[in-house]
Structure 1
Amino acid sequence: MAILIGLLGATHCVGMCGGIAASVSMSQDDSRRGIPLVIAYNIGRISSYAVAGALIGLLGYQLSSGGVGILLRTLAGVLLILMGLYVAQWWQILTRLERAGGVLWRYLRPLASRLLPADTLPKALLLGGLWGWLPCGLVYSTLIWSSAAGHWYDSALLMIGFGLGTLPAMLTTGVLAQQVRALMQRKGVRRGAGMLIILFGVYTLPLSALTGH
């Protein structure tokens, strides 16, 4: 499910991270030489998701131990539904989460800017590691969902799965930026992906939340 959420959410990822991925690829005169840089960038990005997943997984474990596991899973399901609405562009309420995450990004953005142009593998890797903390409602929703996994390592694995799901779109964005962006921005693609994510959210909700008992 984590991989599928990443694949479906790629319609949003292209808009959020596609530009920086394309710039990493185009830092080389030959686009083929830019492919290793794009791969390094994405390794860094997915690694940051894993770290965030581990951290929130620890918090989720503590909360679950305190007897609020059902509440946490309900929140995760609701956020998945909101994510689907967000991806489909039916309701952009998750932008409020992005604004909240902007507090951290204000400190990280200057560091990321210093790594541009990311024309070496270490710079591309570090840039991806920092860019993974870019305020993103899709990532935040998936993080909350992963926090209900039960253990920090499960949460980290779910976030790695999510990152791997975004990988096909992000890798091709670095090489075929305009073509991929055009495909992902089609209303039918976005709405279909949004509907599937909403179904995942309903499936995630505990039975008590659906029946009211």
Structure 2
Amino acid sequence: MQPELYLSYSSAFVIGLLGSTHCLGMCGGISASLSMALPVGRGFRLRQTLLLMAFNFGRIGSYALIATLVALLSTQAASQWRWAGLLLMTIAGLLLIFMGLSMGQWWQGIRFVERVGTPVWRALSPLTKRFIPVNNAGQALALGALWGWLPCGLVYSTLGWAALQPTVPAAALTMFFFGLGTLPSMLATGYAANWIRGIKSNQGFRKISGVLLILFGLWTLPFQALLMH
């Protein structure tokens, strides 16, 4: 494995961790509902953990699958056209900057990007009703796999970054580590919804996360490559 990929995977994890308050607005409700639907009693915590883990790993698996599909196209384009790599880097950097501006509540232009996935979600969302209410881990896994296709600016931002990876497996792993970064907040939503809601509304946390995402985006932009050309 190339050393630079370790940086990509760790950075993807950090992006997921920083942007996870955005995930709470998109997926937090369904994650919390998995816990609330369970009867309190013996074995409650075990069942709760099982359902939350199944749902979230279904969601993360979808991120990896989407990255695989995108990378199949992006790696082929980059191999045929030299400018394609620069274009992908520019798009990925701008998406992260847009996401940072949204996280900091300075500009919500990322919502226009989220509309790109609306047709796919419109086709898949009716299928989620088949698995609600969730009674077992299999249903939670399937629901999470469908929920992973929900239009999300943070996912799209990282997806553009994952498309820069040199191989398809590397792109899938980038999104997998991104998903792992969102996992703590998503699990905490199920275990301690009120505490997480407080973090989500903390303006200082949101602005710091937004600035860091913007810095990630600026770091991704191909300034050096453009200067060399």
TM-score range, shorter chain: over 0.9
Q: Counterpart of 1:56?
A: 70
Q: Counterpart of 1:164?
A: 180
Corresponding residue to 2:202 among 166, 175, 186: 186
Q: Counterpart of 2:107?
A: 91
The answer to whether the 8 A contact 1:26-1:34 is kept is no
Q: Distance in 1 between matches of 2:228 and 2:150?
A: 36
C-alpha displacement of 1:17: 0.6
Equivalent residues in 2 for 1:115-130 (5 A)? 115-130=131-146
Deviates more, 1:56-65 or 1:121-130: 56-65
Structure 2 residues without counterparts, runs of 5 or longer? 1-10
C-alpha displacement of 1:38: 0.5
The answer to whether the 8 A contact 1:50-1:156 is kept is yes
Structure 1 residues without counterparts, runs of 5 or longer? none
Compared CA separation, residues 207 and 100, structure 1 to 2 (3 A): closer
C-alpha displacement of 1:185: 2.0
Q: Distance in 2 between matches of 1:134 and 1:55?
A: 16
Q: Counterpart of 1:29?
A: 39
Identity level (%): 52
Instruction: Give the aligned residue type for 1:51.
Output: L
SS state at 2:125 partner? helix
**1:149 aligned onto 2:159:** no
Corresponding residue to 2:22 among 4, 8, 12: 12
Q: How many residues align?
A: 213
Deviates more, 1:42-51 or 1:171-180: 171-180
Provide runs of 4+ in structure 1 moved above 2 Å.
207-213
Q: Counterpart of 1:73?
A: 89
Instruction: Give the aligned residue type for 2:93.
Output: G
TM-score normalised to structure 2 length = 0.89
C-alpha displacement of 1:78: 1.3
Instruction: Give the aligned residue type for 2:74.
Output: G
C-alpha displacement of 1:210: 7.2
Please, what is the CA RMSD of the aligned residues? 1.5
Compared CA separation, residues 209 and 96, structure 1 to 2 (3 A): farther
Instruction: Give the aligned residue type for 1:14.
Output: L
TM-score normalised to structure 1 length = 0.95
